[in-house]
Amino acid sequence: MPYTSYDVTKDKAALEEMRKISGGALRVPVIAVCNEVMVGFDRDRVEMALRCLDHSSEAQSNKKESL
């Protein structure tokens, strides 16, 4: 699964974006998937969010096939 990693200790813009999407959190990791933002790591929540991503990818694929 492709992802983008940011070092918020070295990238001020990434730190500001992290704070913006997380409601001001200063703790890492901040994971954003399918309109859900998670502060800290919770395997179950990440797996649920990734399933959402799989479902949205399937829906996009089906939509393209029907065009």
**pLDDT tens digits, one per residue of 32-49:** 988 889 999 999 999 988
Supply the mean pLDDT for the chain: 85
Global pTM value: 0.70
Provide the pLDDT for residue 8.
96
**Structural domain contains residue 1:** no
In the predicted model, is pLDDT for residue 6 greater than 50?
yes
Residue written as token pair 């200790």: 9
What are phi and psi for residue 35, nearest 5 degrees? 60, 15
Domain that holds residue 39: 12-66
Q: CA 37, CA 18: separation in Å to the nearest integer?
A: 10
**Structural domain contains residue 5:** no
Q: Look at 59 and 9; give whichever has higher pLDDT.
A: 9
Q: Which of 38, 36, 20 has its CA nearest to residue 28?
A: 38
**Structural domain contains residue 6:** no
**Structural domain contains residue 57:** yes
Lowest-confidence segment of 4-8, 10-14, 49-53 by average pLDDT: 49-53
**Structural domain contains residue 46:** yes
